[in-house]
A and B are shown apart, each in its own frame.
Chain A
Amino acid sequence: MKSISLYEEKGSMLNRLGPESKILYIIAALLSPMLAGTKWVGFGFIICSVILLVQSRVIKKTIPILGVSGFILLTVVIIQGLFREGNVTPVLSLGKVIFYQEGLLFAWGIVINVLNILLCFCVLILTTKPSDMVENFVRHGFSPRLGYAVISVFQIIPQMTETMATITDAQRSRGMETEGNLMVRIKAFIPLISPVVMSSLINTKERALALEVRGFNATNKKTFLNDQKRNAADRYIEWSLIVVMILALVWRILKWQVL
């Protein structure tokens, strides 16, 4: 049974840290460039994330994630390089197609920003078990019912994907066409999605009954079978990240004062 999570336990340092540190890392990586007002801070965080990911031996798993957005980034570079308002300085020409410096610089800023977001998220998602993260949130006071809704998605989606192949085959054998012109394909959509929705809703009712009688709505404080994922190092890391963000702000203020 696959989970949709990309997490893998590799016994690395990042695996041993609590999810809170990694979430704070993301906040630091996203806020610091904004606070400091310069793209170089974002670039620095990208380098830092790559080092962390290599150290945790999960750098290869970033490729599918980068791939999703990579294509979009390419289109951004092309479109902004060619068409951005204020493009006056040509820098590269391929026949009649001219790329301008202003557009390319603007696109470069976007690429840095997006890469930073993707990589700092990877630091979290490739090294953290989803249930550890959700459990810690519940420990800190999040509603356990919301925690349930979040964590069960990780298994519901693979479950439903498995039924998809069955449904498609069943409907095809009943004579439903799935290939052909647009109208044919549009008409095929509802008979494919309806059985899934129907059975999901029926299962929802039965599952809700089963959860109720396992104390789902109990108001007392929950206990946990698993131990909390937290390390002695977590404190230091969390404080260091806060310091980094404050430094970024200080840098920005100093720059203003100099000007």
Chain B
Amino acid sequence: MSNTTRKLWTLKFNTATWVLIPAAIGINYLGKLFAGVLKLPLWLDSIGTCLAAVLAGPIAGAICGAVNNIIYGLTMDPISTIYALTNIAIGLVVGILAYKGFMDKFGKCILTGIIAGCVAVLVSTPLNMIFWGGTTGNVWGDAAYAWSIAHNMPALLASGIDEIIVDLPDKIAVMLIVFAITKSLPKSLTALYRSGDTVESLD
């Protein structure tokens, strides 16, 4: 969705973008639900955030990520609120990469997933250290953490490994799904979220 008529850092959203944000959060939630129903070993809970970032820009993606976690925090799991930082970072990074054309081709899209995964690790690991002492609550990741600590690796590194095992495959999968979805969207839907366009004159 690289389009230079759209301003990258616009703070003034049009109405369609304001309606997109709650819908994207709903998509996040459903992604997580379907992943649970299908018993997939991935979270798949940031499809909406990344979709919003691709369609409407990094600020929209960041707001989507922030509101997503704030609401999770207010309704299910207060600790989620702090992890809003991770989702904000993902929204920003994916939005910037999408603007620069990284979501136009399959290969570049996987790269976006890898970068987003690494960003998630960079932001989440310090949070994991502060709140949980380094673990994440995910079985595979924590097993890796325990193994790393038992082999005398520093806690921060062990925590990073824990998070990478959890986040990297998940973010790559998310970006592939977002790629598949955006490629099949008609232009009339994707054009809605650009706020930089003006009315041409036919007179």
Q: What is the interface of chain B mostly: helix, strand, loop, or mixed?
A: helix
Are A159 and B26 in touch, CB under 8 angstroms?
yes
Of residues 64 through 110 on chain A, the ones whose CB sits less than 8 Å from some CB of chain B are: 64-65, 68-69, 71-72, 75-76, 79-80, 82-85, 106-107, 110
Q: Is the CB of A186 within 8 A of B40?
A: yes
Known: A72-B132, A85-B152, A201-B185. A157 touches B76 (CB 8 A): no
Contact with A along B129-148 (1 / 0, CB 8 A): 00111010100001001100
Name the A residues within 8 Å of B37 (CB-CB).
168, 178
- Nearest opposing residue in chain A for B70, CB measure: A150
> What is the distance, in angstroms, from B182's C-beta to the closest C-beta of chain A?
10
Q: Known: A110-B132, A153-B67. Is A202-B189 also a contact (CB below 8 A)?
A: yes
Q: A85-B155, A145-B18, A164-B30 are in contact. Are A65 and B77 (CB under 8 A)?
A: yes
Residue of A nearest to B21 (CB): A149
Establish whether residues A208 and B192, one from each chain, have CB atoms under 8 Å apart when the complex forms.
yes
Give chain A residues whose Cβ lies under 8 Å from the Cβ of B33.
Answer: 161, 164
Closest to A122 in B: B78
Q: Are A130 and B74 in contact (CB under 8 A)?
A: yes
* Distance of A5 Cα from B71 Cα, bound (Å): 9
Contact, CB under 8 Å: A196 / B30: yes
Within 8 A of B (CB), among A135-151: 145-146, 148-150
Q: Does B118 sit at the interface, judged by CB under 8 A?
A: no
Point out the residues of chain B lying under 8 angstroms from A113, CB to CB. Answer: 131
CA distance in complex: A150, B69 (Å): 11
- A164 and B34 contact, CB distance less than 8 A: yes
A189: contacting residue among B25, B35, B51, B145, CB under 8 A: B35
Given the known interface contacts A107-B133, A121-B78, A145-B18, the answer about A196 and B27 at a Cβ–Cβ threshold of 8 Å is: yes
Q: Taking chain A's interface residues, is the majority helix, strand, or loop, or is none over half, making it mixed?
A: helix
Which residues from chain A contact B26 at a C-beta distance below 8 Å? 153, 156-157, 159-160, 200
Nearest-CB distance from B16 to chain A (Å)?
Answer: 4
Cβ of A189 and Cβ of B40 under 8 Å apart?
Answer: yes
A40 at the interface (CB under 8 A from B): no
Q: For A149, what are the chain B residues with a Cβ–Cβ distance below 8 Å?
A: 18-19, 21-22, 63, 67
From B25, B31, B189, contact of A157 by CB (8 A)? B25
CA distance A164 to B154 in the complex (A): 44
Q: Which residues of A contact B181 (CB under 8 A)?
A: 193-194, 197
Query: Is B38 touching A189 in the complex (CB atoms < 8 A)?
Result: yes
Interface status of B15 (Cβ within 8 A of chain A)? yes
B47 beta carbon closer than 8 Å to chain A: yes
B189 and A212 contacting across the interface, CB-CB below 8 Å = no
11 contacts between A and B (CB under 8 A): A4-B76, A71-B137, A79-B135, A107-B133, A146-B63, A153-B71, A156-B26, A161-B29, A192-B34, A194-B181, A208-B14
Contacts A71-B137, A110-B132 known; list 16 others, CB within 8 Å.
A4-B71, A64-B76, A68-B77, A110-B133, A113-B131, A114-B132, A121-B74, A124-B74, A145-B18, A149-B18, A149-B63, A164-B34, A185-B39, A193-B30, A204-B192, A205-B189
